[in-house]
């Protein structure tokens, strides 16, 4: 679609000039409760249909946190690139309503059709759409291609701005590592990840940094690639808070059938901690969980000796993590909620983290967490197609220091994004 189909070039250039000069502007819908300088973003998305990630992230910039026309982030959408247009496409309708130009290349979106980069950040959403699936079950979303074209544009126009990559970079490990290395080399403020580490927890579980965690078990559900990533992010956002911080993963293995349940029977993984995690999620199939024919286990050992265990079950329909803490007799467990109303609110808390990065120029939490979970997932899926072989993973010796970034409902969605968030 050409820009001229959506708005006049004169109107667009006038708006772009105001944004480029750092003006405080009011988007088409009501802005934040406090008067702050609005930052502009370009969005690069695979597909923009109702309830896709593009809808529940970009839609909140256009329509407010609840996508009801009310208060929203201190961000304005300056430009949009859509990789695939479907019969259910929302992008044209939304672009026309909010005077946002759609461009036919990523470079044009990042430059907003100009000869420089006027935007303050880029949101890259390579999720949903018609893309091939490889033999390991990984849907080959164009996340590396998106990131390459975004950063190629940075190089061409000699300006770097923060980039958020929805979900896991890659999803193939070599692509994820390439993206991380390029961000490091070019000094791109880079964030990525799932919305679930920032969602509501049921019951509330707020684990202090430096906690003495003796064991942890996670439970995930549905597709091993798409939802396995969410479950690993939930698991990692808690176990990274153990004493000593994070030094990466030594090996990864995928188990199924009797071999996965043997880790409980032989005591390698605590049955009590597993039971606590299982009790925290709703069931969709009655009977013994061991009768689940499609269950699988991601088993991995961290470099500090801590054992990771994530059970992917098709007899449940939510994600949970249980922890055995030193000095406490009973495990603690929580479910990571996936509310749909109003407008998938956990994505509002993810967008709050993105907003903060674009305003401060610094990631709200380390991208290394997501790079590590991406690697664990890729290696687990590789092990699955190598008959459960235990794979040594020196490439996952990823060190980072976690930060105390809050989850829902603690961040004030109306607060000044440039100010620190406190619990």
| CA geometry: angle 123, 126, 129, nearest 5 deg | 135
Query: Contact, 334 vs 206, CB < 8 A?
Result: no
Query: Contact, 343 vs 56, CB < 8 A?
Result: yes
Residues 6+ apart with CB under 8 A from 401: 245, 246, 366
Q: What is the pLDDT of residues 314-332, one digit of tens each?
A: 999 999 999 999 999 999 9
Of residues 351, 338, 336, the one with CA closest to residue 67:
351
Which residues, in sequence order, are bridge partners of residue 102?
Answer: 80
Q: How many angstroms separate the CA atoms of 260 and 299, rounded? A: 9
Q: Per-domain residue ranges for the chain? A: 3-193, 198-410+419-423
Which residues, in sequence order, are bridge partners of residue 319?
Answer: 336
Q: Which class does domain 198-410+419-423 fall in?
A: alpha beta
Q: How many angstroms separate the CA atoms of 387 and 297, rounded? A: 13
Q: Which residue did the predictor score with more confidence, 420 or 387? A: 387
Place 388 in a pLDDT band, splitting at 50, 70 and 90.
very high
Per the document, the length of the chain is: 423
Burial grade of 396 (CB within 10 A; 0-12, 13-18, 19 or more):
buried
**Identical topology for domains 3-193 and 198-410+419-423:** no
Mean pLDDT of the 5-16 span: 39
What pLDDT shows up at residue 170? 95
Place 2 in a pLDDT band, splitting at 50, 70 and 90.
very low
Q: What is the average pLDDT value for the chain, to the nearest integer?
A: 92
Structural tokens at position 277: 């995690």
Q: pTM of whole model > 0.85? A: yes
CATH classification code of 3-193: 3.40.50.720
What pLDDT shows up at residue 422? 58
pLDDT of 253 strictly over 80: yes
Mean pLDDT of the 202-230 span: 97
């Amino acid at each position: 679609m050409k820009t001229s189909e959506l708005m006049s070039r004169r109107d667009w250039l006038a708006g772009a000039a105001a944004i480029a000069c750092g003006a405080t502007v009011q988007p088409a819908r009501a802005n934040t409760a406090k008067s702050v300088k609005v930052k502009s973003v370009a969005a690069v998305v695979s597909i923009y249909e109702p309830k896709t990630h593009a809808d529940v992230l970009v839609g909140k910039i256009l329509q407010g946190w609840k996508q009801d026309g009310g208060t929203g982030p201190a961000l304005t959408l300056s430009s949009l690139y859509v990789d695939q247009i479907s019969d259910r496409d929302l992008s044209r309708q939304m672009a026309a309503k909010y005077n946002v130009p759609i461009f036919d290349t990523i470079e044009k979106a990042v430059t907003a059709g100009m000869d420089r980069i006027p935007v303050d950040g880029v949101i890259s959403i390579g999720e949903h759409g018609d893309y091939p699936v490889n033999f390991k079950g990984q849907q080959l979303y164009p996340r590396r291609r998106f990131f390459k074209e975004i950063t190629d544009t940075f190089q061409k126009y000699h300006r770097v701005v923060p980039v958020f990559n929805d979900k896991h970079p890659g999803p193939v490990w070599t692509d994820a590592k390439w993206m991380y290395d390029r961000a490091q080399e070019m000094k791109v403020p880079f964030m990525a990840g799932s919305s679930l580490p920032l969602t509501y927890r049921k019951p509330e579980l707020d684990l202090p940094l430096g906690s003495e965690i003796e064991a942890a078990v996670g439970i995930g559900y549905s597709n091993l690639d798409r939802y396995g990533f969410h479950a690993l992010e939930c698991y990692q956002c808690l176990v990274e808070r153990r004493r000593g911080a994070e030094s990466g993963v030594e090996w990864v293995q995928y188990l199924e059938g009797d071999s996965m349940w043997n880790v409980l029977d032989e005591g390698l993984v605590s049955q009590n901690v597993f039971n606590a995690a299982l009790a925290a999620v709703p069931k969709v199939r009655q009977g013994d969980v061991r009768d689940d024919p499609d269950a699988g286990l991601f088993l991995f050992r961290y470099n500090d000796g801590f054992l990771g265990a994530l059970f992917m079950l098709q007899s449940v329909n939510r994600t949970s993590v249980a922890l055995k803490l030193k000095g406490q007799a009973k495990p603690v467990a929580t479910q990571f909620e996936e509310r749909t109303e109003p407008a998938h609110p956990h994505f509002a808390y993810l967008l709050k983290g993105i907003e903060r990065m674009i305003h401060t120029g610094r990631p709200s939490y380390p991208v290394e967490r997501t790079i590590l979970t991406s690697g664990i997932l890729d290696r687990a899926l590789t092990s699955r197609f190598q008959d459960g072989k235990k794979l040594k993973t020196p490439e996952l010796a990823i060190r980072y220091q976690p930060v105390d970034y809050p989850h829902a409902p603690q961040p004030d969605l109306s607060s000044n994004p440039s100010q620190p968030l406190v619990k």
